[in-house]
Amino acid sequence: MMDTDASIGPSSLLLRTQGRQPTQLRGLACERGLLNRADGSAKWAQDATAIIAAVHGPRQAQAKAENAEHAVVEVSFKPRSGFQDNVHRDYEGILRRTLEGLIPLGMFPRTSIMVVIQVVQDDGALLSCALNAACAALIDAGVPLNHLLASVTCAIMPVAAGSSLCLDPTRKEEQAASALISIAHPFHFDFTKSSKAELMKPVVCVGGDVLASHTQGSFSVEQYLDAVIMCSKASAQIAEFSRLVLSKA
């Protein structure tokens, strides 16, 4: 589990399962290059929530879909079983719009980039997990990016003293929450000299901008702003984890 220093609101009053503090992320895992038939792929897991993302392209777009000035991003969100519901279709739109801002589409006119999201298991924070998986798969495919992204979900939990913010909720916690807020932040790597060996060392820099924001339920403006701050701090940990994964590739 990963802990972030994000003491906002009466979070300390909430007792979570698995001994997690409200500001703790679940364990992260990422594996790239899983699928031979895709140009890039990645499996991203946040404990029991797992997504496999596959990227096809950039490739020649069909005539009816191509754009002479830029690439077209397509997203297919596949549930673990059964058919899509309205939530999955909403997630497709959020992913597509977010990735359109992530990729320099003007570099690839008349092409399409297809991103397929396959749910392996859903134990909460599914949208954030899908966004993180899609970014990892685009990196694996060698698609140029304006920046990278890190996404975190925050739940607003009802407690005796009012409400409590809770990072990276499980499915059970989501069902008990009064609201869910998923945020995606941009990040990039800067290089600084190490004081010991005079070597260039990568440093993660998380931007203050919000690439994507998806909410469910009711909440106050103050609660939303607190959630954005908490998610921003947690995004730095996901960004650092991504750096470690990329350094081993």
CA distance 20 to 3: 9
Chunk the chain into consecutive blocks of 10 residues (it has 249) and report each block's average pLDDT, rounded to whole numbers.
Answer: 46 61 94 95 97 96 84 95 90 97 95 97 98 97 94 90 84 95 90 57 70 94 94 93 82
pLDDT value at position 10? Answer: 40
Q: Calculate the CA dihedral of residues 216, 118, 173, 179 and round it to 10 degrees.
A: -10
pLDDT value at position 161? Answer: 55
pLDDT value at position 13? Answer: 45
pLDDT value at position 84? Answer: 86
Tell me which residue range forms the domain holding 207: 2-247
pLDDT value at position 31? Answer: 96
Q: Minimal CA–CA distance to 120: which of 181, 55, 42, 27?
A: 42
What is the pTM for the complete model shown?
0.89
pLDDT value at position 160? Answer: 62
What would the DSSP string read from start to end of 80-103? Answer: SSS---HHHHHHHHHHHHHHHHHS
Question: How many domains, in total, are found in the chain?
Answer: 1
pLDDT value at position 232? Answer: 92
Q: Minimal CA–CA distance to 26: which of 109, 102, 132?
A: 132
pLDDT value at position 40? Answer: 97
**CATH, residue 13:** 3.30.230.70
pLDDT value at position 199? Answer: 55
- 158 preceded by a cis bond (ω within 30 of 0): no
**Under DSSP, is residue 181 helix (H, G, I), strand (E, B) or coil?**
strand
Check residue 233 and give left, alpha or beta (phi > 0: left; psi -120 to 50: alpha).
Answer: alpha
Helix H or strand E encompassing 76: strand 72-78
pLDDT value at position 191? Answer: 62
CA distance 195 to 237: 23
